[in-house]
Amino acid sequence: MLHPLRWEHPLGPSDVDKGGVQLVRRGAQAAGVAGDALVVVDLAEQERRQHLGLGAITSLGLIDALMNLPLRTPVRRCDLACTTVDRLVGAPDAVVSMDGDWVTRWLTPPLTVIGVAVRGDSWSQLSRRVWPFAAFAQQIVLLDSMPARSSELLWEAQLAGVGVWAESDGQYQALTRPEPFTRRYWKPAGWRFAERAYRAQITSSDPPGWSHASLDRPAHTMLEGFDPLLRERPDC
């Protein structure tokens, strides 16, 4: 089963862990905003990368070049644009192999981000933090307590297609359902979105579970400057 997957029903709290959806803290990043990513992993691809010592590949230029190649199918080098070849040269063999006149892509997305969850104190704050993820996944806001059923927040969230989950007795309950996300095109930005979630997954030292504080820190991390496998490769 190749990623990205199609997930056609609204996410609910029961999908997390029990339904095969995993939480990656601060795994979603877009427009300088961070949220928790709800993902379905590709175990085979992640095991392959771990075996070969390969981390996340987040260069938009390299990903764009890779998307010109079919997976695990050799393509003649002369059939590729020069700019594509230039961006592939120097990539790890676990990403793409260039054997004489033939080029073969081995990399595939390590997971699919199904939804993004953010936490805040007011709808105006929540809406600003969740809207950048509309182009990538279902949108969910997390509340620490149950709002009034007639709450303006619930009404506006429902109109916007945003799911609202509220915590009660240590568990989340869905008050409104998120609008299912329809991916019309698979673009480099979407693949990079998944790679950034994978980077957060493999570098996180946080214990499993929902995070209250982790959503409030800046989206960028100093780690990118030290690990060459995790650093974002400059676009060519």
% of residues, the chain, pLDDT over 90: 69
pTM: 0.86
185 plus 125 within the same structural domain = yes
CA dist., res. 27 & res. 113, Å (int): 9
pLDDT grade for 235, boundaries at 50, 70 and 90: very low
Q: Is residue 72 part of a domain?
A: yes
pLDDT grade for 27, boundaries at 50, 70 and 90: very high
Q: Is residue 128 part of a domain?
A: yes
Q: Between 214 and 34, whose confidence is greater? A: 34
11-28: average pLDDT: 91
Cα–Cα nearest to 41, from 177, 197, 172:
197
DSSP state of 71: B
161 plus 131 within the same structural domain = yes
Report pLDDT for 77: 96
Q: Is residue 51 part of a domain?
A: no
Report pLDDT for 147: 79
Report pLDDT for 232: 47
95 plus 145 within the same structural domain = no
134 plus 196 within the same structural domain = yes
CA dist., res. 185 & res. 2, Å (int): 15
92 plus 123 within the same structural domain = no
* Domain ranges, residue 149: 13-43+110-211
| Backbone phi and psi for residue 230, each to the nearest 5 degrees, phi listed first | -105, -15
Q: Is residue 53 part of a domain?
A: no
197 plus 130 within the same structural domain = yes
Convert the pLDDT of each residue in 164-193 to its tens digit. Answer: 999 888 889 999 999 999 999 999 999 999
Convert the pLDDT of each residue in 88-135 to its tens digit. Answer: 999 999 999 999 999 999 999 999 999 999 987 777 788 889 999 999
74 plus 102 within the same structural domain = yes
Report pLDDT for 6: 92
> At residue 212, does pLDDT exceed 50?
no
Find the DSSP H helices in the chain.
Answer: 43-52, 60-66, 82-88, 123-130, 152-160, 188-203
Report pLDDT for 154: 86
